[in-house]
């Protein structure tokens, strides 16, 4: 167990989230079960007031989770200087068996709670508060990954052992990776992933043009997946200008001007607006064109900036890596 100030800060906030989250869960279960907009009983009256408390707790958690996600990655990055063998956050994250799961949970929760807020905005401006029951059921479901994340995070930091030697990103993200699924990515030709990446970007633009809800959700989900894979396998090497250096975490370091933060924000915002807006469209039967336009904007910005790296490299050096 290593108690650096950063870890204590993360754990303190985790405990707060756990407490407030539990309260919100209890209240939202009751609201989901007893909500009846038409009734004017004292119970319904109380539930109406409690629903604002749940909403404010969720807003609090979500607004903090955004910077905390960055702070978590940053903390891991900082710890990499303490842990032998780790060169960047990826080594630290992978030093505990479920480190990668934790990161994925964090990402999933950001998407989930972001979507909850979209639904909440839709609900509070509805004349009959038609989605209240739905949003509290959704929150109760989202509590599962939320609590899983918090428990994993506490477990992660308590199990983190500074004296253990871990692998650096160079071995984790290569064909020799011990993880079967990761090594598969590298055994397939990188060009395939890059093609899929651009293909699904085009599909998402077409879906946007046709305002197809299902098209937006599916194409953007796949776009996100292949964007991440092609980033690790292909694009990151151009950022580092090293054919063997493939890592999604080193991008976040000072040596590369923290470019990763910008790239990830564009990618995640873009796909979130598309998928979140799409799910909203399924529930409310209206086209959230505002969100989709944003999505198209952010996705395009991401594609352009990540493509600029290989192009710039080619123009400068006249060869591909």
Can you give the binding site for another protein, defined by CB under 8 A? 2-9, 12-13, 16, 20, 40, 42, 45, 48-49, 52-53, 56-57, 60, 64, 67-68, 71, 74, 78, 82, 84, 117-118, 121, 124-129, 162
Distance CA 40, CA 38 (A): 7
For 106, residues 6+ apart whose C-beta sits below 8 A from its C-beta are 65, 69, 72, 149
> In a 3-state reduction of DSSP, which class is residue 167?
coil
Rounded least distance, CB 17 to another protein, Å? 9
The span from the CA of 87 to the CA of 70, in Å, is: 18
Judge contact between 96 and 156, C-beta under 8 A: yes
CA distance 98 to 84: 19
Output 14 or 149, the one with its CB closest to another protein. Answer: 14
248 vs 236: CA distance, rounded Å? 7
Q: Provide, rounded to whole angstroms, the least separation between the CB of residue 42 and another protein.
A: 6
Q: In the complex, what is the shortest distance from the CB of residue 307 to another protein, in angstroms, rounded to a whole number? A: 30
Comparison of 78 and 191: residue with beta carbon closer to another protein: 78
| DSSP string across 203-233 | HHHHHHHHT-HHHHHHHHHHHHHHHHHHIII
Q: How far is the CB of 258 from another protein (least distance, A)?
A: 11
Using the minimum distance from each CB to another protein, give the nearer residue, 55 or 172: 55
**Closer residue to another protein in complex, CB, 59/186:** 59
Closer residue to another protein (CB): 42 or 318 = 42
CB neighbourhood size of 90 (10 A)? 28
What's the rounded Cα separation, in Å, for the pair 87 and 188?
26
**Nearer to another protein by C-beta: 131 or 223?**
131
Nearer to another protein, 25 or 194 (CB): 25
Q: Minimum distance between the CB of residue 170 and another protein, rounded to whole angstroms?
A: 12
The CB-side HSE value for 239 (13 A sphere, CA atoms) comes to 27
Is-contact 305 266, C-beta < 8 A? yes
């Amino acid at each position: 167990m290593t108690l650096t100030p950063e870890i204590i800060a993360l754990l303190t906030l985790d405990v707060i989230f756990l407490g407030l989250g539990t309260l919100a869960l209890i209240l939202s279960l009751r609201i989901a079960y007893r909500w009846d907009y038409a009734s004017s009983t004292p119970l319904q009256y109380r539930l109406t007031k409690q629903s604002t408390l749940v909403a404010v707790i969720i807003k609090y958690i979500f607004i903090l989770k955004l910077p905390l996600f960055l702070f978590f990655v940053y903390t891991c990055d900082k710890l990499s200087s303490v842990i032998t063998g780790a060169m960047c956050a990826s080594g630290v994250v992978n030093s505990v068996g479920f480190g990668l799961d934790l990161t994925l949970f964090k990402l999933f929760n950001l998407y989930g709670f972001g979507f909850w807020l979209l639904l909440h905005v839709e609900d509070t401006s509805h004349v009959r508060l038609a989605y209240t029951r739905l949003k509290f059921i959704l929150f109760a479901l989202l509590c599962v990954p939320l609590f899983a994340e918090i428990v994993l995070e506490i477990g992660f930091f308590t199990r983190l052992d500074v004296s253990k030697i871990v692998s650096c990103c160079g071995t984790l993200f290569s064909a020799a990776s011990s993880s079967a699924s990761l090594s598969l990515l590298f055994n397939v030709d990188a060009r395939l992933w890059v093609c899929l990446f651009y293909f699904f970007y085009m599909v998402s633009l077409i879906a946007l043009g046709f305002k197809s809800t299902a098209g937006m959700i599916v194409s953007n989900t796949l776009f996100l997946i292949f964007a991440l894979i092609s980033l690790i396998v292909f694009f990151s090497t151009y950022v580092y200008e090293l054919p063997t250096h493939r890592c999604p975490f080193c991008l976040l370091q000072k040596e590369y001007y923290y470019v990763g933060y910008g790239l990830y924000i564009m990618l995640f915002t873009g796909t979130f607006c598309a998928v979140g807006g799409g799910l909203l469209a399924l529930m409310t039967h209206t086209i959230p064109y505002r969100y989709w336009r944003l999505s198209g904007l952010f996705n395009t910005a991401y594609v352009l900036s990540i493509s600029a790296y290989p192009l710039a490299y080619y123009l400068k050096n006249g060869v591909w890596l």
